[in-house]
Amino acid sequence: MIQAQNHDDSGDSGRVARVLGGDKNAFEVLVRAHKAAVARIVSAHVPDGQVAELVQETFVRAYVSLPGYRADSPFSHWLSVIAVRACHDFWRMRYKSREILHADLSEAGRAMVDNTPDVSAQPAEEAVAGDQARRFLAEALDRLSATDRMVLVLTCLEERSTAEAAELLGISRANVKIRAFRARKALRAMLETTSFMR
């Protein structure tokens, strides 16, 4: 579940009201209060070199969408949804242009294959195997659609529930289940046909 931040969400609602009333400084306070949390979300989904740009994009989208914010859920949760969807849009645009660099693996992707805390302390053969695993995962994720990739990261790597992944991506629970199944099946097929695993 998305964790609410340790600050006063009722204060956030007041700041939102002030921004909508014309106080631009109130939005700067919201940005400072939530920037680290948004950066954590974004860094789990996109390459390191894209994090700052997508954090900024998240806040631009939030500002534009502010009139649609309903205080029935914490502002931090609403902002989390915008951040995840910005990451999803990043991958959709990246896949459209096909300028994917295989080295561009997010922190979450690296964590999936690199379960050992210190690769440099391993024997050389294991370090090479870990590097091969990272390259394989990058290639495998690149072959998935943008939405399948996001579903896989949210449900498998971040261990979010189907309901939460559906809410974050703005798709149905059934769609999340189908996409997660399809993505795992595709990864298994890639594992079976790749010499890396032999």
In the structure, how many helices (H) and strands (E) does the chain have?
Answer: 9, 0
Residue 179: is its pLDDT beyond 50?
yes
CB 37 within 8 Å of CB 55: no
Q: Kindly give the interhelix angle for 124-143 and 173-193, rounded to the nearest 10 degrees.
A: 130
Q: To 10 degrees, the CA torsion angle through 145, 147, 152, 158?
A: 140
pLDDT digits (tens, 9 = 90+) for 13-50: 899 999 999 998 999 999 999 999 999 999 989 998 99
Cα distance between the two ends of the chain: 37
10 Å CB burial of residue 159 (0-12, 13-18, 19+) is exposed
Q: Which of 12, 13, 10, 2 is nearest to 32 (CA)?
A: 12
pLDDT for the residue numbered 64: 93
Task: Tell me the whole-structure pTM to 2 decimals.
Answer: 0.69
Q: Residue 3: pLDDT above 50? A: no
pLDDT of residue 192: 74
Q: What is the pLDDT of residue 143?
A: 83
Which of 11, 58, 53, 54 lies closest to 33 in space, CA to CA?
A: 11
